[in-house]
Amino acid sequence: MIHMRKRIAILGSTGSIGCQALSVIEKNSEKFEVELLTAGRNKELLIQQALKFRPKHVVIGEDSLYQEVHRALCSLPVNVHAGYQSIIDCVTMESVDLVITAMVGFSGLLPTVSAIKHRKAIALANKETMVVAGNLVTKMAADYKVDIIPVDSEHSAIFQCLQGEGNNPPEKVILTASGGPFRGKKLKELEKVTSEEALKHPNWNMGNKITIDSATLMNKGLEVIEARWLFNLLPEQIEVIIHPQSVIHSMVQFADGSIKAQMGLPDMRLPILYALGYPHRIKSDFIPRFDFSHYPILTFEKPDLKVFRNLDLAFQALKKGGNMPCIMNAANEVAVDAFLHHKVRFLQIPDIIEKVMSKITFINTPVLEDFQQSDREARNYAKALLNF
């Protein structure tokens, strides 16, 4: 049986990327249908989405919320599951064609691995999967002949710039960063900033964790590591430049000195639509068109690594390799959560990450179980530091 519509699983459907993906699917219902939706704890929104899109399966990650979700959807032909293992299992269903991995943090790794093993195409919006285990994931994708199409605007830009280049490898890639809400600030000015201030991103609408990562420039550090694995680069082939207008999403420089840039309005629906339709571009009448007259000046500047130390720590983790990016990522997730709950100050985030990176045992060639163990140890040590 040939399915005319591509059947989509969205892991993390209640988050920012998940919600925007559903809006894109709704505008293109003749091309896509929703097969699976998953959420962590946001049962209300998950129920609303299921009532609207009628997926065959939904998973609520928190087991204790199963009954509420099941009761709300019992009149529909929707199979309700609960628990993290259910997410890992449901992505393997034969009825799934493409998995959008939009879960936040380390939790996205095992479902992504499970999907790849069952030869599901991946639209990757969970950068931590590549940060933690990029070597393992890219090798597995190659072994199982699975496409990984990046959804992050920066990696989507690089991916698009490389189309049609055949045997012309990049000399380097240039990841652009808006600089976040604290661009240009000095250390003294950041001593007392609040999480509310850090959540006011100037250009992008993202979830809380990613927005704080953008304010610390850790988000760009994670993207550096992700780019290394997605595009088979050396650390010295990756550059970060601050571009406050967020119009150029990233660039690729080639051996002859030419640079390709992918441009557009800062709207995540664009890379989502590209990933859903790849290798074809889908016409959209719901995304505004770029007008050069509204952007007469585009500016660029180097990041301040002394103020925004997280970006430097990410480069250090990348160069060290092994399980170090996994350790760094776990420490960052704990520190960001603590900052959002007013338990640490903004400038303490890199201090915590650096201490954890220096403490947890380094493994040069980790396997999947090593990543899981390193993640647990790093989180536990970071939490212990928070009680000093």
Question: Which of 67-71, 204-208, 316-320 has the lowest average pLDDT?
Answer: 204-208
Above 70 in pLDDT, residue 361? yes
pLDDT tens sequence across 117-128: 999 999 999 988
Q: Domain for residue 276, yes or no?
A: no
| Tokens 């710039």 sit on residue | 161
| Distant-in-sequence, close-in-space partners of 67: CB < 8 Å, separation ≥ 6 | none
Last residue of a domain, one of 106, 134, 151: 151
DSSP character at residue 347: T
DSSP character at residue 204: -
Length of the chain (residues) = 388
Q: How many domains does the chain have?
A: 3
* 75 & 202 share domain: no
Range of the domain at 122: 6-151
| Tokens 């719901």 sit on residue | 286
- Tell me how crowded residue 383 is: count the other CB atoms within 10 A of its CB: 15
* 192 & 250 share domain: yes
Asked whether the beta carbons of 215 and 177 are under 8 A apart, the reply is no
* 133 & 160 share domain: no
Last residue of a domain, one of 121, 151, 181: 151
| Tokens 């609040």 sit on residue | 194
Above 70 in pLDDT, residue 388? no
* 175 & 193 share domain: yes
Task: Give the pLDDT confidence score for residue 354 in this predicted structure.
Answer: 98
pLDDT tens sequence across 283-300: 999 999 999 999 999 999
- Tell me how crowded residue 291 is: count the other CB atoms within 10 A of its CB: 8
Asked whether the beta carbons of 313 and 353 are under 8 A apart, the reply is yes
Last residue of a domain, one of 133, 151, 169: 151
Asked whether the beta carbons of 70 and 90 are under 8 A apart, the reply is no
* 297 & 170 share domain: yes
Above 90 in pLDDT, residue 365? yes
* 104 & 241 share domain: no
* 61 & 189 share domain: no
Above 80 in pLDDT, residue 241? yes
Indicate the residue type of 287: I
Q: Domain for residue 211, yes or no?
A: yes
* 74 & 87 share domain: yes
Task: Give the pLDDT confidence score for residue 1 in this predicted structure.
Answer: 46
b/e 42-70 (16+ beta carbons within 10 angstroms → b): bbeebbebbeebebbbbbbbeeebbeebb
Backbone angle region of 2, left / alpha / beta, with phi > 0 → left and psi within -120 to 50 → alpha: beta
- Mean pLDDT confidence for 224-243: 97
Q: Domain for residue 283, yes or no?
A: no
| Distant-in-sequence, close-in-space partners of 104: CB < 8 Å, separation ≥ 6 | 12, 15, 126, 128, 207, 209, 210
State the pLDDT confidence band at 371, using cuts at 50, 70 and 90.
Answer: very high
Q: Domain for residue 205, yes or no?
A: yes
Above 90 in pLDDT, residue 48? yes
* 352 & 381 share domain: yes
Q: Domain for residue 191, yes or no?
A: yes
pLDDT tens sequence across 87-100: 999 999 999 999 99
d(CA 133, CA 109) in angstroms, rounded, equals 8
Q: Domain for residue 102, yes or no?
A: yes
Task: Give the pLDDT confidence score for residue 3 in this predicted structure.
Answer: 60
N-to-C CA span, the chain: 61
Return the closest-CA partner of residue 104 out of 229, 230, 13, 226.
13
Return the structure tokens found at 244: 């406050």
d(CA 154, CA 98) in angstroms, rounded, equals 21
Above 70 in pLDDT, residue 310? yes
Domain harbouring 337, CATH code: 1.10.1740.10
Task: Give the pLDDT confidence score for residue 204 in this predicted structure.
Answer: 62
Task: Give the pLDDT confidence score for residue 332 in this predicted structure.
Answer: 97
* 361 & 244 share domain: no
Q: Domain for residue 86, yes or no?
A: yes
* 175 & 294 share domain: yes
Residue 102, φ and ψ in degrees, nearest 5? -115, 20
| 8, 181, 192, 206, 208 from 15: Cα distances, Å | 16, 21, 28, 8, 10
Q: Domain for residue 278, yes or no?
A: no
Domain harbouring 101, CATH code: 3.40.50.720
* 236 & 295 share domain: yes
